[in-house]
Structure 1
């Protein structure tokens, strides 16, 4: 008979599982609200994270630690169990995002000031590599094999960095176009998609190819109408991949563009409430959910990717900034910054189930992200 014993000092009734936990960015106070997804409740708060006005985060593979990328250049490591900041460094003047390597050993940060990418040891936050760039560096994603990809706003250059060896190997893949404003890696890590602000279109790089080359598409959208003022850039990590299609935001237009995933040909458009910010696929369903830029940012729309029609329009609250789905898609959590609330909706009935008080919430990040490439 197999007999197991708990480690000395271990109390089972005090054990905490991380699988249903998450963090909500409270942008006005530089704090994180710790939430329990199963209980639909806030269970704690972590403070002292600096400027979180445009913050994002990623998780270690075991879901124990969150790495928070602040607008003030701060990189913070947060322990999800003790709810404390266990390491922090101001690594730049202005940073815009980051990623963790597939083995969980490296954390990379992309910077506006002074530009470039810095790579840190995930355990200690010791600086391991400093890769300069000729401008603002954006669209940083993790690529399998201890690699990262990124692009540069000022030059349009696209890079792939391999950090598997003792010395980083940085490869210039090519030029995406004028002013790439964000980028995303497809869920199978096959295609790196880069949105362009200075010209119409999107540029794709096939990362399964030994020598990836830029492939531009969607170069003609919006040519028959004037662009509207862009009040907020779309966030491309919210691009939806569903039904063999990409659902992409039309910059400066109140439209979603549908593109065949294999051919990269436009196949349709959907008129929507405003300028899309996040377009996120509801897991295990044909639906995508969309929120919008100010001043039309009190609405969320649900679109059926089969018919490309809007099937629901919700008004959850004021200044809807972000949405995060439960891993299997049963619920969606929606941040309403100006109502100081996180709203929780059932995705089948689309009825509100609960709400949680939060201080000017923006990004919502569940620990399930730890197991997804490109996040």
Structure 2
């Protein structure tokens, strides 16, 4: 009887082991958002394969992802205010909370211990312990003058010094939340920075924070080495004298491309990519492109700039030579190209084709399509290598 029980127990243990994902590292993993289904796919870049689908993540119509410093966990920010911690190795949800009414993204702190979430509703930023998802701080945003609600928060990013930066869309502000002393965080506010800041960029060295302005032509620049100098205006009036076109999709400025001493940024309501000199932050060129740019992304070696577009040109992707500013490729991957992501060393470019229900893998050097992977209404693509990049 004891022998039979032992054999039965061993069989159960073996069956349990068989159900576990195979042992692997996490450095080549990534996440694809399936926006209509409320699910994500876990993929790996080395073999360009799909590993698992995780269901039950709520409203992912505008979702973004950050990763733990060991690249094991993905934190998914959903439009329904959901914050979901996903174990990429065990291929399951580790924990999920509803922390707000309408979330628009978030960030993970420099040391990986804190998760900050920006909210449209109720307005403000909430900060959580990255391991437990327990609330650490609640930072309400500025109330509107009529007192009807608080300002919507956009563009939450991490910055050196255990800080988070974000913009207040309705009240025209930039805030720095300093968590270097976790129990006594401080907030520095910069007011009157421009009309309707809608997204932002942190330069790769973590020094310059730029916020795009939707309500006027221009951008707001904050030097984090010298915040006492306040916010400066750059690209002021870049659309002066030109009729602005209807904006069908807001550009996403975390995709701004820094290539050497040049910054490539989308022009709102125009069919142009603007080029700034990062030494003086003045415009140096404007590149005519096929439509209104959404993502403007540099290959990791900065030799190419890849651009996708808003409707009705969202079936196209153009590739710009960063040195000559010439368009070297005009690709048509399929209907509804929403997002692009380079692998860490740049040998692959993954892009989502929402209306084609697929994700494509490209060789950005040969400009060749390598693989198609099925996905249901895919949007954002995020690789775990982001865990070691500041400002994402």
Both structures adopt the same fold (TM-score exceeding 0.5)? yes
- Number of the residue aligned with 2:64: 56
User: 1:359 aligns to what SS in structure 2?
Assistant: coil
Contact 2:177/2:187 (CA < 8 Å) preserved in 1?
yes
- Number of the residue aligned with 1:161: 177
Q: Deviations over 1:110-168 (max 9, x none)?
A: 00011100000000000010000020001111011211011100111111011121211
Contact 2:245/2:270 (CA < 8 Å) preserved in 1?
yes
TM-score by length of structure 2 reads 0.92
Q: Aligned to 2:364, which of 329, 334, 347?
A: 347
- Number of the residue aligned with 1:38: 46
What CA distance in whole angstroms lies between the structure 1 residues aligned with 2:310 and 2:227? Answer: 38
What CA distance in whole angstroms lies between the structure 2 residues aligned with 1:145 and 1:89? Answer: 27
- Number of the residue aligned with 2:98: 90
TM-superposed deviation, 1:212: 4.2
What CA distance in whole angstroms lies between the structure 2 residues aligned with 1:223 and 1:160? Answer: 31
What CA distance in whole angstroms lies between the structure 2 residues aligned with 1:176 and 1:280? Answer: 26
Q: Aligned to 2:30, which of 22, 46, 50?
A: 22
TM-superposed deviation, 1:308: 1.1
The answer to whether 1:255 aligns with 2:272 is: yes
Relative to its length, the structure with more helix (as a share) is 2
- Number of the residue aligned with 2:148: none
Where do 1:287-306 residues align within 5 Å? 287-306=304-323
Contact 1:173/1:212 (CA < 8 Å) preserved in 2?
no
TM-superposed deviation, 1:285: 3.6
Contact 2:110/2:162 (CA < 8 Å) preserved in 1?
yes
Unaligned stretches of 5+ in structure 1? 1-8
The answer to whether 1:132 aligns with 2:140 is: yes
TM-score by length of structure 1 reads 0.96
Q: Higher Cα Rg: structure 1 or 2?
A: 2
Q: Aligned to 2:352, which of 304, 328, 335?
A: 335
Unaligned stretches of 5+ in structure 2? 1-13, 143-150
What CA distance in whole angstroms lies between the structure 1 residues aligned with 2:346 and 2:86? Answer: 26
What CA distance in whole angstroms lies between the structure 2 residues aligned with 1:22 and 1:99? Answer: 17
TM-superposed deviation, 1:14: 3.4
Q: Aligned to 2:109, which of 84, 101, 108?
A: 101
What CA distance in whole angstroms lies between the structure 2 residues aligned with 1:30 and 1:241? Answer: 32
Q: Aligned to 1:77, which of 70, 85, 90?
A: 85
What CA distance in whole angstroms lies between the structure 1 residues aligned with 2:193 and 2:109? Answer: 23
What CA distance in whole angstroms lies between the structure 2 residues aligned with 1:248 and 1:143? Answer: 20
Would you say how many aligned residue pairs link Structure 1 and Structure 2? Answer: 367
| RMSD, matched Cα | 1.5
